[in-house]
């Protein structure tokens, strides 16, 4: 178990955001369908059984400038030959600094961005007023797990293979205190309407998988679930929470006290032969 991190300086928050992301993917090492390979230069995740960007891409890249183009060419060829999509994210630790431009030159396309955000849990703000008929349930048994999976799948329009992976990971992590991550379901009028996850890794709490079903968006459900997770993390002694925000969620997280420390740029190469995958 990594010691709880409490360095809330700009540099500390930047490290925490990236470290939690990598720690979250460590959970996938237990799955036979997923392969994670590391070298001094790169950390690669692949799954021929699940041809989705979630588990096919580059998690970390630090190349010498004079050999970066060769490494990129070899990696792109590796995914192409296996008919897999390739999602490549650019982080503060990525080297060389112009790797994004090199990826575009190698045929990848810019695929949007996320804001790397972090929060000192001693300074979390109160949320806006919430729907009176909202209840939030942490996932503590198989019934809750299935409700969380159905909500997550519908909200993000996930492939069945991806849902199966997340189900296995959640079951392996277990329920209750001490689990590697905690899932949440929000109910409106006793029906599952939103969900979220909190992943503990690298000594910080990471907020992931926040989504609300289309017919109840705009009511503050995502805010409520995020706030609940933050309070739970603080009660367990954590000092820092992190997340990767889309443009849509940015103002919500900012109101809760999150601040942006860097931008995560994404680059994507579609699998050949017309395979199509949704980026989330």
Q: Give me the CATH number covering residue 96.
A: 3.40.630
The pLDDT > 90 percentage for the chain reads 86
Residues 152 and 257 in one domain: yes
CA atoms within 13 A on the CB side of 169: 23
How far are the Cα atoms of 192, 196, 214, 257 from residue 254, in angstroms, in the given order?
Answer: 26, 17, 22, 5
Contact 179/217 with Cβ under 8 angstroms?
Answer: no
Q: State whether 171 and 243 are in the same domain.
A: yes
**Pairwise CA distance, residues 262 & 157, whole Å:** 28
134 band by pLDDT with thresholds 50, 70 and 90: very high
Task: Determine the structural domain holding residue 14 and report its residue range.
Answer: 10-115+264-269
Q: Residues 195, 91: one domain?
A: no
**Are both 164 and 240 inside the same structural domain?**
yes
What are the tens digits of pLDDT across the range 180-237? 889 999 999 999 999 999 999 999 999 999 999 999 999 999 999 999 999 999 999 9
Q: What is the pLDDT of residue 242?
A: 98
- Does residue 9 carry a pLDDT above 80? yes
Per the domain annotation, does 275 fall within a domain?
no
Q: What's 139's domain CATH number?
A: 3.40.630.30
Domain contains 2: no
> What pLDDT shows up at residue 46?
98
Residue 195 domain flag: yes
Q: Is residue 274 part of a domain?
A: no
In-domain check, residue 278: no
Residue 64 lies in a domain: yes
Q: Where are the alpha helices (DSSP H) in 4-136?
A: 10-26, 68-81, 99-105
Residue 4 lies in a domain: no
Q: Evaluate whether 62 touches 94 at the Cβ level (below 8 Å).
A: yes
Query: Which residues pair with residue 184 across a beta bridge?
Result: 138, 196
**Same structural domain, 41 and 145:** no
Tell whether 111 and 124 lie within a shared domain.
no
Mean local confidence (pLDDT), 13-23: 98
Check whether residue 98 and residue 134 sit in a common domain.
no
Task: Indicate whether 15 and 93 sit together in one domain.
Answer: yes
pLDDT recorded at residue 132 = 82
Residue 234 · residue 223 · CB < 8 Å: no
- Give the C-alpha separation, 102 to 11, whole Å: 26
CB atoms within 10 A of CB 229: 25
* Confidence at residue 273, expressed as pLDDT on a 0 to 100 scale: 45
Mean pLDDT of 13-32: 96
Q: Using one digit for the tens of pLDDT, what is the confidence trace for 28-78?
A: 999 999 999 999 999 999 999 999 999 999 999 999 999 999 999 999 999
Residues 131 and 243 in one domain: yes
pLDDT-wise least confident of 14-28, 213-227, 240-254, 265-279: 265-279
Whether the per-residue pLDDT at 272 is higher than 80: the answer is no
Helix (H) or strand (E) holding 268: strand 259-269
Domain count, the chain: 2
In a domain, 280, yes or no: no
pTM value surpassing 0.85: yes
What stretches of 8-141 show up as alpha helix (H) in DSSP? Answer: 10-26, 68-81, 99-105
Q: For residues 156-161, give the mean pLDDT.
A: 95
Residue 117 has pLDDT above 90, yes or no: yes
Same domain, 94 and 183: no
The answer on 106 and 83 residing in a single domain is yes
Whether 72 and 146 share a structural domain: no
Cβ neighbours around 97 below 10 Å, total:
10
Looking at residue 276, its pLDDT comes to 40
List the structure tokens of 104.
């575009």
Mean pLDDT to the nearest integer, 129-152: 93
């Amino acid at each position: 178990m990594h010691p709880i991190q409490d360095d809330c300086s700009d540099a500390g928050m930047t490290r925490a955001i990236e470290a939690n992301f990598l720690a979250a993917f460590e959970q996938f090492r237990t799955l036979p369908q997923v392969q994670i390979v590391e070298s001094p230069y790169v950390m690669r995740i692949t799954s021929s059984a699940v041809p989705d960007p979630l588990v096919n891409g580059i998690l970390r890249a630090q190349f010498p400038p004079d050999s970066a183009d060769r490494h990129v060419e070899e990696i792109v060829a590796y995914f192409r030959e296996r008919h897999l999509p390739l999602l490549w994210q650019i982080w503060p630790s990525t080297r060389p600094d112009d790797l994004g431009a090199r990826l575009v030159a190698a045929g990848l396309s810019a695929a949007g961005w996320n804001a790397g955000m972090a929060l000192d849990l001693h300074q979390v703000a109160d949320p806006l007023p919430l729907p009176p008929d909202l209840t939030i349930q942490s996932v503590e048994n198989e019934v809750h797990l299935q409700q969380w999976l159905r909500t997550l799948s519908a909200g993000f329009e996930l492939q069945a293979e991806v849902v199966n992976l997340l189900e296995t990971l959640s079951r392996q992590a277990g329920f209750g205190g001490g689990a590697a991550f905690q899932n949440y379901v929000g109910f409106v009028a006793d029906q599952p309407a939103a969900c979220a996850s909190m992943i503990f890794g690298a000594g910080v709490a990471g907020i992931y998988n926040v989504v609300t079903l289309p017919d109840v968006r705009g009511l503050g459900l995502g805010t409520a679930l995020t706030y609940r997770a933050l309070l739970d993390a603080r009660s367990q002694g954590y000092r820092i929470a992190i997340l990767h925000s889309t443009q849509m969620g940015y103002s919500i997280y900012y109101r809760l006290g999150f601040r942006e420390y860097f931008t995560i740029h994404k680059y994507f190469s579609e699998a050949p032969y017309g395979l199509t995958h949704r980026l989330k």
